[in-house]
Amino acid sequence: MQRGRRIAFDYGDVRIGVAISDPDAILASPLTTLATGDKRLSAALAQIFSEHEPIAIYVGKPSNMDGTAGLAVEKVRNFRALLEELSSAPIVEIDERLSTVSAARTLRESGVNAKDAKLRIDAMAAVSILEFALSIEKSKS
């Protein structure tokens, strides 16, 4: 597997969770949470890409439990187009079904209170997306 950092995004109407891997793609960690409607979103994303120089970018693909496209597909497509403008790294959409559920469970099991969990859940959902993406990468190498 190629050495380098990977970044994952969990796009939401209010917030965007961001996760990053270590250079060896072993660990996925929460990086930050961005406000979806922030006027400085493009600048914040450009700074993340400049600072971390990802070799791959993963974006959660909203799907219903039956596998059909979710309602947020168009919003995620627009977000992906923005990412493509800001980075030359390949962008891959990853099934995000249950990523937020998994993140909520992890936070609850870690003893994080509900107020703090609300602030951290989007980045943790991005961690779930990134962990899934890394497992796919590892299975192919």
β-pair type (91-95, 56-61): parallel
Residue-level pLDDT at 122: 85
Residue 100 tokens, joined:
């937020």
Ordered strands of the 56-61 beta sheet: 28-35, 15-21, 6-11, 56-61, 91-95
Tell me the domain boundaries of the chain: 6-140
CATH says 6-140 is which class?
Answer: alpha beta
pTM for the whole thing?
0.85
For residue 36, give every residue at least 6 positions away whose Cβ sits within 8 Å of its Cβ, in sequence order, or none: 11, 12, 13, 14, 15, 16
Q: Is the pLDDT of residue 38 over 80?
A: yes
Q: 77-131 pLDDT, tens per residue? A: 999 999 999 999 999 999 876 556 565 566 567 666 655 656 677 888 899 999 9
